[in-house]
Amino acid sequence: MDPYNRLAELKLELPPPPQPLPTFVMAAQTGNLVFVSGHIARKDGKPWVGQLGVNMSTQEGQLAARAIGMDLLATLHGSLGDLRRVERILKALCLINSAPAFTEPHLVANGCSELLISVLGDAGRHARSAFGVAQLPLGACVEIELVVQVRNG
């Protein structure tokens, strides 16, 4: 399965990769492992602000997590030069900005997991943790980081 063909079939377009920042990088590689920074959800280029269980539904949270999935793919595309170098998404850490009573962080995280599987196929099937956090940078509703296994370029 070619991820670029698959993106086209799904009528999805990779966004530009997130900008580098002065204090950290979006992805750091050692050998065949890439550690990808936590990406916060963005909508129209700005932080997607919200808190699950306060002013955002599980379904909206899934859309935000799906948008992060696209940004993570954009970062991998930019960082590796070719998404086909992704051998496997190994691990996702999914942080959901939550009221103390919101017990569906795993359903929100599915928005990202399903996107990765639908674009990358079995290479997108990963181990995962999902949980509710007290708050996220800039008030974003969801933040997701990855560990990825890559092929040599």
**Residue 135 interacting with its own copies (CB under 8 A):** yes
- Are the beta carbons of 39 and 95 closer than 8 angstroms? no
Contacts of residue 63, Cβ cutoff 8 Å, sequence gap at least 6: 111
Binding mask 14-33 for its own copies (x = CB under 8 A): ---------xxxxxx-xxxx
Size of the site for its own copies (CB under 8 A): 57
Nearest-angstrom CA–CA distance, 38 and 21? 13
Nearer to its own copies, 8 or 54 (CB): 54
Nearer to its own copies, 46 or 134 (CB): 134
Among 68, 92, 120, 141, binds its own copies (CB under 8 A): 92
Nearer to its own copies, 43 or 106 (CB): 106
The first and second tokens of residue 31, run together, are 């050998």
**Residue 57 interacting with its own copies (CB under 8 A):** no
- Beta strands 86-97 and 127-133 are parallel
Nearest-angstrom CA–CA distance, 80 and 71? 14
Nearest-angstrom CA–CA distance, 95 and 131? 6
- Are the beta carbons of 79 and 27 closer than 8 angstroms? yes
Backbone angles phi, psi at 147, to 5 degrees: -115, 130
CB of 139 to its own copies, least distance (A): 4
CB of 118 to its own copies, least distance (A): 11
Q: Which stretch binds its own copies (CB under 8 A): 9-17, 66-74, 99-107?
A: 99-107
Where on the chain is the footprint of its own copies (CB under 8 A)? Answer: 23-28, 30-33, 35-38, 51, 53, 87-93, 95, 98-106, 109-110, 113-114, 117, 125-139, 143, 145, 147, 149
